[in-house]
Amino acid sequence: MRLSTLSSSVFTVAALIPQALSWGVVGHEVVATVAQMHLHPSVLPKLCAILESDASNYDRSCHLATVAAWADQARREPRYRWTGPLHYIGAKDDYPSTSCAFPGSGGWEGRSHINVLSGIRNVTTVLQDYQGDVATADVDEYVQDALKFLIHFLGDMHQPLHLTGRDRGGNDDKVSFDGRVTNLHSLWDTLLIAQRLRTLHRNYTRPLPLPDVENNLRGTIYDPYIRRLVWEGILGKYEHELSSWLTCPTTDRLHVLPLPRWQRVLLWLFGSKSKDGGLDVDDEILCPYHWAQPIHALNCEIVWPTELDQPLYNRISYTSHVSEEISIVDVDDLESFTRRKNSYLELDTPEYAGRIRDEWIVEKLLTQGGIRLAAVLNWLFADSTDSRSGNLLIRKL
């Protein structure tokens, strides 16, 4: 989706957002765009050299957002089908909102090392190795895919429902949003963001006096939303915590870094098992497991409504034989329940969607995804001999 001009009213533009737009598109592109604003000046040209080696994909100037949702299309192709489980992770004992385990004593679901956190480590390693080969300038598809997956997976790991396996990350839990039947996963992928775009303050349709921001916007429907994330978030409420988003715990075994690469590989293989849930993905520079923990915890704090496990909603669908049970509930509840067009838990309420909006939960996750993606890319690709200090936003990190 690319609109060459932005209407003066976000509202009219946002009304055209197709329902299919999702974290798979808008969320991922927002994360990628926020990341691009924070790249060291020496980094984007290198990323573009990797991405544009597949020239057939590129008819416009290079931008990370254009590849951010690629992995969701690719997984539907036979040769990439195996990458499906790389988009999420779930622990066997995890059952939000009742109990959140990450991973708990039961360990992880699925095949070992085939999950979003291991995927981030894996593709980062591919890109690190490519750094060594940069002289050959021969970028193969493997490296290009690794970069596209990295951009995508950093987004996925900031969607809390990609970190739980319960009911396929909430895909199987029907809920209602503003009277429309959806499911919990789609609500977080799509509807919360779409609602935010529809209700954004008009002042964000005007460019910000920040070239580093404006130069990375592409005239999309979500430009105003990104301006808000930057203005009120990165330069506002999160200004003083941005660098803490990038810290990793130093482990006693790893604090002696830098080590030669082969020793690091050994440490990943044999070290820090207890420190990162047995995934062996964290080190003191890049620690997706450590970053994921508070995001996963959101599932028990707010994402997974407790009502889904309580009478009226603790069943797949409402049928007439439920009437006996209804008699035990509060009459007011029953009235609003029977008045509604559908019988699913309504989540466009002050207690749920309102709280998520007021606490900036989605906005913080998207911003964290962008900042962390930028940090990983800067770490992988920034030229340490390039003394340009970078832009306003980078200096803040």
Where does this chain bind ligand NAG (CB under 6 A)? 122, 125-126, 201, 203, 231
Of 141, 21, 152, 38, give the one whose Cα is nearest residue 390.
Answer: 38
Task: Determine whether 94 is an active site residue.
Answer: no
Listing DSSP states for 324-374 in one string gives: HHHTTS-HHHHHHHHHSSS-SPB--SIIIIIHHHHTTHHHHHHHHHHHHHH
Rounded least distance, CB 122 to ligand NAG, Å:
4
Rounded least distance, CB 331 to ligand NAG, Å:
40
Rounded least distance, CB 260 to ligand NAG, Å:
17
Task: Determine whether 158 is an active site residue.
Answer: no
Task: Determine whether 357 is an active site residue.
Answer: no
Query: Token digits for 90?
Result: 């779930």
Rounded least distance, CB 263 to ligand NAG, Å:
16
Task: Determine whether 72 is an active site residue.
Answer: yes
Q: Which of 156, 223, 276, 280 is catalytic?
A: 156
In terms of CB distance, is 231 or 360 closer to ligand NAG?
A: 231
Place of tokens 């592109």: 29
Place of tokens 């596209």: 148
Task: Determine whether 255 is an active site residue.
Answer: no
390: region left, alpha or beta (phi > 0 left; psi from -120 to 50 alpha): left
Task: Determine whether 315 is an active site residue.
Answer: no
In terms of CB distance, is 53 or 125 closer to ligand NAG?
A: 125
Rounded least distance, CB 278 to ligand NAG, Å:
16
Q: Which of 38, 121, 158, 185 is catalytic?
A: 185
Q: At what angle do helices 361-381 and 44-51 cross, to 10 degrees?
A: 90
In terms of CB distance, is 201 or 340 closer to ligand NAG?
A: 201
DSSP symbol at 318: -
Q: From residue 88, how far is each of 78, 83, 162, 168, 250 by CA, in Å?
A: 19, 10, 5, 10, 25
Task: Determine whether 63 is an active site residue.
Answer: no
In terms of CB distance, is 214 or 325 closer to ligand NAG?
A: 214
In terms of CB distance, is 125 or 343 closer to ligand NAG?
A: 125
DSSP symbol at 207: P
Spatial distance between the Cα atoms of 97 and 110, rounded to a whole number of angstroms: 21
Query: Token digits for 278?
Result: 């047995």
In terms of CB distance, is 208 or 257 closer to ligand NAG?
A: 208
Rounded least distance, CB 132 to ligand NAG, Å:
13
Q: Which of 94, 145, 189, 223 is catalytic?
A: 189
Task: Determine whether 162 is an active site residue.
Answer: yes
Q: Which of 162, 227, 290, 296 is catalytic?
A: 162
CB-facing half-sphere around the CA of 82: CA atoms within 13 A = 5
Q: Which of 152, 196, 228, 372 is catalytic?
A: 152
User: Which residues have a catalytic role annotated?
Assistant: 23, 28, 72, 75, 87, 152, 156, 162, 185, 189
